[in-house]
Structure 1
Amino acid sequence: MSQDLRVFLEQLDKDGEICHVTEPVKREYEISTLMMELEKQRKYPVMWFDQVDGGDIPVVTNILGSKDRFAKAMGVKTEDLSFEFAERIKNRFDDVKLVENPPCDAHLITGDDVDLTLLPIITHFPIDAGPYITSGLTVAKDPETGCETLGFHRLQLKGKNKLGISFHSRQRMWEFFRKSEERGENMKAAICIGVHPNIALGSQASIPYHLGKYGAIGGLFGEPLEVSPCATMDLNVPTYSEIVLEGEVLCNVREPEGPFAEYTNYACFRSTENVFQVNAIRYREKPIFHDITPAMSSEHITIVSIQREGDITKFLKQNLPNIKAVHSPLSSCGIFHCYVSMKKTAEGQAQQVILTALGMDHHIKMVIVVDEDVDVFNEQEVLWAMATRLQADKGVMIFPNMMGETLDPSTGDDGLTAKMGIDATKPLSGYSPKIEIDENVIEDIKRLFKYVK
């Protein structure tokens, strides 16, 4: 399987999934406004803009905007995507494939010639503090173990060689920088723009801290990840990255960063206020600039939803019997709510599901457990189960003062949140039967559809 984003985009183009815009568009607001309007119409094409403010670097957006596209990238059926993700990241390839002379070696800018304004960095919404790189995967190593990680962190354009960056997720990158700062050192890092969807998805994998993300990404490809050395420091990055920014997160330096239109669909003023100094820019011949529309867009949320569904499914199936499906709906920003269907064989199992799911992911605020006859991917059915199978005084569990997501505007400054579990399953016996359609008649009545306008 090719690990090159360009090969993947060529296939999408052949399949008619890319819309090419040849007329000029502005960097400020136009692209994100168009994408949000298409969201309202439930249309999710890949949009390719040839001319952005007169520049010659095209901007491509919505590459990650649907589960179908991620499934195509992995070569699986859409309905199997989350489960396949969870399974494949366990099949690690920890020995990466080192490739010399990667395509992004075509152009190298260093020193005083570094100028980020040459890139078509987009200003997305009026609330944003300025232009933001939204698709950049930040790559760094643990200063103690050398274990690598990569992940999405918002990047505010602040100058020709300076970006604001925030580590508010309080996970690996935050920990790596904390260790570097304790040593009085800048954290060497690179930002990769324009990578294959499997690399983007693999960056979200929940794995033990002593393991690197590159091995998990290799599992998604079914082969070792191809990486290449940076030009100015000892760090390997995905070989086929369209653009690579090499630099360092400055020790003991903080500057205001934000606000930014986060995936919660609210302006986020919370930030760790770190500063990324760019020392070199490398890019491919005729590079492609990938932009992710922020706020509550499908491209911003779908990747998180897939990861949550896959990881929670894997974790629940390891600890509980008869788990049927798990869904992290886009209505909850793909992260805050979790719907689980199961074949209940003993009372109390739903409560065990709730405790297990909340315990494995601090982002989740609410878990709803339903019976196997409820489609968790259809929110109307989940709400129906709550309406007809739940008594709040018996089926609702509240957990106050738990660790939450700092980007959730309903949390306090300390990031603590209340969480809730809902058991919307039927008792094991004595409940009214659900009305069902005779499956044998479905084929027979299809002849009558011709009368329906």
Structure 2
Amino acid sequence: MARYYKDLREYLARLEKSGLLFRIREPIDKDRHLMPLAIWQYHGLKSDERKAFLFENVTDGSGRKYQGAVAVGLLGASKKIYSLAVDAAPERIQEKWLRALSRPIPARKVRTGPVKEVILKGKALEKSGGLEALPLPISNPGFDGAPFFTAPFCVTRDPETRKINIGTYRMMLKGRKKSGISCPPAQHIGIHFHKAREMGKPLEMAVILGAAPAIGLTSVSKIPYGMEEYAVAGALAGRAIALVRCETVDLEVPARAEIVLEGEIPTDYAEPEGPFGEYTGYMGGKMLNRVFNVKCITHRHDPILQMFNEGIPSESSLMRKLSYEAVVWKFLHRDCNIPGVLKVSFHEWGGSWKYCVIQMKRTTPAQPWQALMAASAFDPNLGKVVVVVDDDIDPDDADAVNWALSFRMQPHRDSRVITHKYAALDPSAAPPGSPVEEARFPSPSGCSALLMDATRKWPYPPVALPKKEYMERAKKIWEELELPALTPKTPWHGYSLGRWSKENEEEAEMAARGEYEEVAQRLARAGTKIEEF
């Protein structure tokens, strides 16, 4: 059975035992220094050196001391940390996701849990300071207009089917009992919102701020609509997630969550929200967004507020990359009946959202386009540039992908632009200041995607590197000479791609044996006189 982290605290203990946690006990200003400290590692450390942060002494510019702690980078600071969160070796992460998607475990309901240790509603909520009492940091000091919840696991219910969705959407702090909430129409929360609006009622929502890793991992994934994230989280965890009823809304939340906000999103009101540093690596502008009115806060004693950092690269980009790759691979390989799809890669410098590379072993010329069109149809937000490459190209390696784009396709023949895609905060979609509807889906046909088939269309000459046997022997000599340690990068040896004659093969073997003159004589016998022009 999988290792089950019953809550965030047990998981933090595992991180610390594994040497993957920076525990900061010194006073840290949440509005100016906390998130910059956590962000530095993405711009100054190698990816395998990054760790999670736990800030235990959180203050602000006035010297105010906040109750509880702030945790950053718990799920995706590095692939090693993500691997620990899903309890799977790095090479088995996708397999773990596929098993969870195929065999979800429904949640179980319990009467109460640690998340009910403190219950604040009515006058008690107002007196406590509400949202303003939480140690919520500013993510991008100098640019963000307020603190934002960056790791809110937002629970809503489809008003018609009553199916639960859990997703992560930015939430701007706006007062003791009020925050902004992004409800993009193309996201599942947007579908719930639209249905509630048609019914003339607000959309109830509970927001989980800190929970066992399976909850957060599922919240940021592209789980198919109608499949309950709690059940997928249970499969990731290896057992059913224990849920308790909320105090003021018709929803359930993890019994061992750190903090839960309960309230409603009015469907007849919006106000400006932002700016905020987004997954694109640019500041997302001020836009008209919905608000979330808080009716109740429950939390554990000395709660831990979980945060993600956005931008490129970031914890969020790695988490999206690893979960999206598994979900889209399953969609293409299994659901769309394209068994030649071997791997899907979302590149972090595309926000793990806009740049997708599909590796496949094609058996017909139609299959690359089947994969390209299916991938572009999976989600209106995903895939601005989608490329299919052969099985000898590493889809995670931008250099290898660029090699394929340079020499295995012709733009006029092997590329296509499609429209009616969704912007998803892409700043290239519309000029600053555009109405939110125009920024999200520019008239008349929305955004576009570039689809490219960068597979070989016919046999190619071999890769221009020494044969494998010579490279392997040279590597042994390299090591005997005690030269710097090598990290081989594909391709590191030559191999046939179908167009190489028996004569070419014989002459190369002769050359390797030192028989150059005989090769030269062969060539001379095939010589011919060239007439002058």
TM over 0.5: yes
Q: CA, structure 1 residues 307+405, in 2 after alignment: closer, same or farther (shift >3 Å)?
A: farther
Whether the 8 Å CA contact 1:246–1:279 is kept in 2: the answer is yes
Q: Does 1:437 align with 2:468?
A: yes
The CA distance in 1 between the partners of 2:161 and 2:314, in whole Å, is 36
Q: CA, structure 1 residues 447+273, in 2 after alignment: closer, same or farther (shift >3 Å)?
A: closer
Match of 1:390 in 2: 409
Q: Does 1:238 align with 2:244?
A: no
Alignment counterpart, residue 29 of structure 2, candidates 26, 31, 34: 26
Whether the 8 Å CA contact 1:205–1:213 is kept in 2: the answer is no
The CA distance in 1 between the partners of 2:195 and 2:81, in whole Å, is 37
Whether the 8 Å CA contact 1:89–1:205 is kept in 2: the answer is no
Residue correspondence of structure 1 range 156-305 to structure 2 within 5 A: 156-168=172-184, 170-269=186-285, 271=287, 273-305=289-321
Match of 1:40 in 2: 43
Displacement of 1:297 after TM fit? 4.2
Displacement of 1:107 after TM fit? 0.9
Whether the 8 Å CA contact 2:67–2:135 is kept in 1: the answer is no
Whether the 8 Å CA contact 1:166–1:271 is kept in 2: the answer is no
Displacement of 1:138 after TM fit? 1.0
Residue identity in the other structure for 2:51:
P
Displacement of 1:304 after TM fit? 1.5
Unaligned 5+ segments in structure 1 are: none
Q: Does 1:427 align with 2:443?
A: no
Q: CA, structure 1 residues 430+50, in 2 after alignment: closer, same or farther (shift >3 Å)?
A: closer
Whether the 8 Å CA contact 2:158–2:192 is kept in 1: the answer is yes
Q: Which has the higher contact order (CA 8 A, sep 6+)?
A: 1
1:123 is paired with a residue of what secondary structure?
A: coil
Residue correspondence of structure 1 range 385-424 to structure 2 within 5 A: 385-399=404-418, 401-412=419-430, 413=438, 414-415=440-441, 416-424=446-454
Match of 1:58 in 2: 69
String of CA shifts for 1:3-51, please: whole Å, max 9, x gaps. Answer: 3111111111001110111211111131222233211123421111111
- My pick for the range that moved more, 161-170 or 293-302, is 293-302
Displacement of 1:234 after TM fit? 2.4
Whether the 8 Å CA contact 1:309–1:327 is kept in 2: the answer is yes
Displacement of 1:443 after TM fit? 6.2
Q: Does 1:328 align with 2:349?
A: no
Q: CA, structure 1 residues 310+142, in 2 after alignment: closer, same or farther (shift >3 Å)?
A: same
Displacement of 1:260 after TM fit? 1.1
String of CA shifts for 1:280-335, please: whole Å, max 9, x gaps. Answer: 11111221111212333421212211222111111221221322211101011001
Whether the 8 Å CA contact 2:221–2:320 is kept in 1: the answer is no
The CA distance in 2 between the partners of 1:169 and 1:411, in whole Å, is 16
Q: CA, structure 1 residues 169+222, in 2 after alignment: closer, same or farther (shift >3 Å)?
A: farther
Alignment counterpart, residue 90 of structure 1, candidates 102, 105, 130: 102
The CA distance in 2 between the partners of 1:11 and 1:4, in whole Å, is 11
Alignment counterpart, residue 342 of structure 1, candidates 348, 360, 363: 360
The CA distance in 2 between the partners of 1:268 and 1:33, in whole Å, is 18
1:376 is paired with a residue of what secondary structure?
A: coil
Whether the 8 Å CA contact 1:89–1:202 is kept in 2: the answer is no
2:363 is paired with a residue of what secondary structure?
A: coil
Match of 2:121 in 1: 110
Match of 2:137 in 1: 122
- My pick for the range that moved more, 389-398 or 17-26, is 389-398
Match of 1:447 in 2: 479
Match of 2:379 in 1: 361
Displacement of 1:245 after TM fit? 0.9
The CA distance in 2 between the partners of 1:120 and 1:127, in whole Å, is 19
Moved over 6 A (4+): none
The CA distance in 2 between the partners of 1:13 and 1:31, in whole Å, is 19
Whether the 8 Å CA contact 2:185–2:191 is kept in 1: the answer is no
The CA distance in 2 between the partners of 1:219 and 1:434, in whole Å, is 46
Q: CA, structure 1 residues 430+245, in 2 after alignment: closer, same or farther (shift >3 Å)?
A: closer
2:28 is paired with a residue of what secondary structure?
A: coil
Displacement of 1:121 after TM fit? 0.8
Q: CA, structure 1 residues 208+34, in 2 after alignment: closer, same or farther (shift >3 Å)?
A: closer
- My pick for the range that moved more, 344-353 or 53-62, is 344-353
Whether the 8 Å CA contact 2:20–2:81 is kept in 1: the answer is no
String of CA shifts for 1:179-238, please: whole Å, max 9, x gaps. Answer: 222222222211100112221122244444333222222222232222111122321112
The CA distance in 2 between the partners of 1:230 and 1:109, in whole Å, is 12
Displacement of 1:169 after TM fit? 5.5
Residue identity in the other structure for 2:138:
T
The CA distance in 2 between the partners of 1:303 and 1:169, in whole Å, is 23
Match of 2:511 in 1: none
The CA distance in 2 between the partners of 1:33 and 1:208, in whole Å, is 34
Match of 1:378 in 2: 397
Whether the 8 Å CA contact 1:344–1:428 is kept in 2: the answer is no
- My pick for the range that moved more, 290-299 or 242-251, is 290-299
1:40 is paired with a residue of what secondary structure?
A: coil
Whether the 8 Å CA contact 1:244–1:283 is kept in 2: the answer is yes
Whether the 8 Å CA contact 1:46–1:63 is kept in 2: the answer is yes
The CA distance in 2 between the partners of 1:450 and 1:86, in whole Å, is 43
The CA distance in 2 between the partners of 1:327 and 1:278, in whole Å, is 39
The CA distance in 1 between the partners of 2:37 and 2:252, in whole Å, is 36
Displacement of 1:430 after TM fit? 4.2
1:39 is paired with a residue of what secondary structure?
A: coil
- My pick for the range that moved more, 342-351 or 372-381, is 342-351
Unaligned 5+ segments in structure 2 are: 60-64, 431-437, 486-533
2:204 is paired with a residue of what secondary structure?
A: strand
Displacement of 1:272 after TM fit? 5.0
Displacement of 1:123 after TM fit? 1.2
Displacement of 1:105 after TM fit? 1.1
Residue identity in the other structure for 1:5:
L
| Percent of paired sites with the same residue | 28
The CA distance in 1 between the partners of 2:195 and 2:288, in whole Å, is 15
Whether the 8 Å CA contact 1:347–1:428 is kept in 2: the answer is no
